[in-house]
């Protein structure tokens, strides 16, 4: 998985691979836009369908907010990261936000959080009402729906006894600008994973009012892998990077924030 992520071009060029295309001559995201509304149980629906989802908060130890800090922030305006404060200050002086992300770092170190980080997440889990406490320190991002399903499966496998919530929104359509990524809503949801006695695990999806989500929402978010060979192969070859949403940028930029080392 690390090798697949390192081999993608968009981490260096900020080439937009989901939620629209920003290449002048060679359009990207064609299959995802074409099959966004394909039935979730079809092959193209499983691999390319479902559209784009925004993750607004979670208290999962695997996905964030502490420990690995997906989507993998390398540095921020305070200099808390891989680079010295002077380097961050130089970026800011040139008009850059002073923040950068590397999903590759997350993919390569996932599951290797120190015990202290896991304990920090556990305290958030017990204190949070829904995802309120987690969302306060969470960096929102968008990913294609198939990638969210992968993240949820990974979270369950890495921490099989952990209960967690994930709040977000399915976006209308399959492409849009930065305001669309940050604010558009087709359906809001909270996915809840609960671990019972023994190996019993339950997944549920509720809306803002706490009622069960409409059927089409969990059909997209919680569909299990079909086991089809082509779908399995596509899952090995396609790795979608998260596009962060930087607070305050929604109305200032039409382009996705640069990311990658």
Residue at 123 is within a domain: yes
What is the DSSP-derived secondary structure letter of residue 111?
T
Of residues 157 and 149, more confidence is placed in: 149
Task: Specify if 116 maps to a domain.
Answer: yes
Question: Which is higher by pLDDT, 175 or 120?
Answer: 175
Determine the average pLDDT of the residues in 190-214: 84
Residue 89: CA count within 13 A, CB half-sphere: 3
In a domain? residue 225 = yes
Domain of 169, in residue numbers: 2-244
More confident residue, 14 or 107: 14
Higher confidence at residue 110 or residue 147? 147
What does the block give as tokens for 187?
């359906």
Does position 171 have pLDDT exceeding 80, yes or no? yes
- Whether 221 is covered by a domain: the verdict is yes
What are the φ and ψ backbone dihedral angles of 191, each rounded to 5 degrees? -90, 130
Interval 231-242 mean pLDDT: 82
3 state DSSP class of 64: coil
pLDDT tens digits, one per residue of 24-58? 677 777 778 877 888 888 988 888 888 999 998 88
Q: What are phi and psi of 154, to 5 degrees?
A: -60, -40
Instruction: Give alpha helix (H) positions in the chain.
Output: 2-6, 10-13, 30-34, 43-48, 85-93, 103-109, 115-127, 132-135, 145-158, 178-183, 216-221, 229-237
> 254 lies in a domain?
no
- Under 8 Å between Cβ of 180 and 255: no
For Cα atoms 90, 76, 87, give the angle at the middle one, nearest 5 degrees: 25
Percent of the chain with pLDDT over 70: 63
pLDDT of 254 above 60: no
Highest mean pLDDT among 129-133, 197-201, 245-249, 254-258: 197-201
Is 255 within a domain?
no
Average pLDDT over residues 125-153: 73
Is 95 inside any structural domain? yes
Per-residue confidence (pLDDT) for residue 47, from 0 to 100 = 87
Q: What is the pLDDT of residue 9?
A: 44
- Number of helices (H), then strands (E), in the chain: 12, 8
pLDDT digits (tens, 9 = 90+) for 78-93: 545 566 778 778 878 8
Query: In 3-state terms, what secondary structure has residue 201?
Result: strand
Q: Report if residue 253 sits inside a domain.
A: no
Among 89-98, 204-213, 243-252, which is the least confidently predicted range? Answer: 243-252
Q: Which residues contact 258 (CB under 8 A, 6 or more apart)?
A: 14, 96, 100
Query: Residue 20: its pLDDT value, please?
Result: 66
pLDDT at 172: 93
CB 177, CB 249: distance < 8 Å? no
Where do we find the tokens 């074409």?
34
What is the predicted pLDDT for the residue at 67? 44
pLDDT above 80 (res 136):
no
Query: What local confidence, expressed as pLDDT, does residue 52 receive?
Result: 93
The mean of the pLDDT values for the chain is 74
Looking at the 3D structure of the chain, how many domains does it have?
1
pLDDT of residue 169: 93
């Amino acid at each position: 998985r690390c090798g697949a992520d390192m081999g993608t071009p968009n981490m260096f060029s900020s080439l937009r691979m989901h939620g629209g295309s920003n290449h002048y001559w060679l359009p990207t995201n064609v299959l995802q836009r074409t099959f966004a509304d394909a039935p979730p149980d079809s092959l193209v629906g499983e691999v390319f369908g479902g559209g784009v989802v925004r993750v607004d908060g979670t208290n999962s130890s695997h996905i964030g907010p502490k420990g690995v800090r997906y989507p993998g922030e390398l540095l921020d305006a305070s200099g808390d990261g891989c680079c010295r404060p002077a380097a961050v200050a130089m970026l800011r002086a040139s008009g850059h936000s002073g923040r950068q992300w590397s999903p590759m770092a997350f993919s390569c170190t996932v599951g290797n959080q120190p015990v202290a980080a896991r304990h920090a997440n556990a305290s958030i889990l017990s204190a949070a009402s829904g995802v309120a406490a987690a969302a306060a320190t969470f960096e929102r991002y968008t990913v294609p729906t198939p990638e969210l399903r992968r993240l949820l499966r990974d979270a369950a496998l890495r921490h099989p006894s952990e209960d967690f919530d994930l709040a977000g929104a399915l976006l209308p359509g399959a492409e849009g600008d930065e305001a669309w990524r940050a604010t558009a809503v087709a359906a809001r949801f909270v996915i809840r994973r609960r671990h019972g006695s023994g190996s019993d695990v339950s997944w549920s999806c509720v809306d803002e009012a706490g009622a069960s989500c409409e059927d089409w929402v969990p059909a997209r978010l919680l569909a299990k892998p079909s086991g089809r060979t082509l779908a399995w192969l596509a899952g090995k070859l396609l790795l979608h990077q998260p596009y962060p949403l930087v607070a305050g940028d929604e109305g200032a930029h039409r382009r996705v924030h640069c990311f990658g080392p």
